[in-house]
Structure 1
Amino acid sequence: MASDLKPTVEFDDTLGKLDIRLGKVLSAETEPSAPKKSYRLKIDFGKYGVRTSVGRFTGHTPEEMVGKQVMGVLNFAPRTIGDVQSEVLVIGIQFKGADSGEATPLVPLLEGKLGSKLF
């Protein structure tokens, strides 16, 4: 077992409080006002609406991002990044060989229903 694991927690106190849902990237463009190279994404979460996210997914081209299904946290407070209100946190992992914070989004193996909840 890895020694850098965090302590055990209860589901209802952690993941159970997050509203993580499936969305589809409608558009991706460079966000010039962000402090670090980032994209502004418009993401459709089905009945939960279209939301904006600013994230460091620049290891991918905007064309690669459009049409991808991604998982996003819908119930974090909006965060101002540059001049944009980022309304959703897209879940990702560090892009291999990239600086900390540069990410690739977690994507499902099969297409799912927009707005589906992570469980």
Structure 2
Amino acid sequence: MAAELKPEVSFEESFALLDARLGRIVEAEPCAETPKPTYRMVIDFGKYGRRTSYGRFTSHPVDEVVGRLVFGVLNFPARQMGPVVSEALVLGVQYPGKDSGEATFVSPAVNAKLGSKLF
């Protein structure tokens, strides 16, 4: 039996409201100030500017994180994470075999223009 899905919603009242864009991580470092192990990442979204994001992508070595293309949601309000503030939500999925919340990145298969909209 297939798992249950959330209720159906229209594109216009859900996905169309998100401003999810392609960015490149230009800086990354472990952050000891958040409640759980986290990376502080500075992401370049092209003409949409740079945003600082904190995320649980720590199963990836930090040197593999810098330069990676990622998708981030730019129109969510900033989120307080302990004493730090995350300005964009980087999209990810559960890292296989890791604790809940530990993520791996959602990335494009090819090099695309920074700031491109996810659709």
Where on the TM-score scale, by shorter chain, does this alignment land: which range?
over 0.9
* Amino acid aligned to 1:47: K
* Amino acid aligned to 1:62: V
* 1:29-48 superposed matches below 5 A: 29-48=29-48
Q: TM-score, normalised by structure 1?
A: 0.97
* Amino acid aligned to 1:108: P
* 1:58-97 superposed matches below 5 A: 58-97=58-97
1:36-57 Cα distance to aligned partner (Å, 9 max, x none): 0000000000001010000000
CA RMSD of aligned residues (A): 0.9
Q: TM-score, normalised by structure 2?
A: 0.97
Runs of 4+ in 1 over 3 A off after TM superposition: none
Could you say what secondary structure the match of 2:6 adopts?
coil
Question: How many Å apart are 1:82 and its aligned residue?
Answer: 2.5
- Bigger Cα displacement from structure 2, 87-96 vs 3-12: 3-12
Instruction: Give the corresponding residue for 1:112.
Output: 112
Question: How many Å apart are 1:7 and its aligned residue?
Answer: 1.5
Count of residues in correspondence between the two structures: 119
Q: How many percent of aligned residue pairs carry the same amino acid? A: 55
Q: Which runs of 5+ in 1 are unaligned?
A: none
Q: Which runs of 5+ in 2 are unaligned?
A: none
Distance 2:2 2:10 in 1: 20
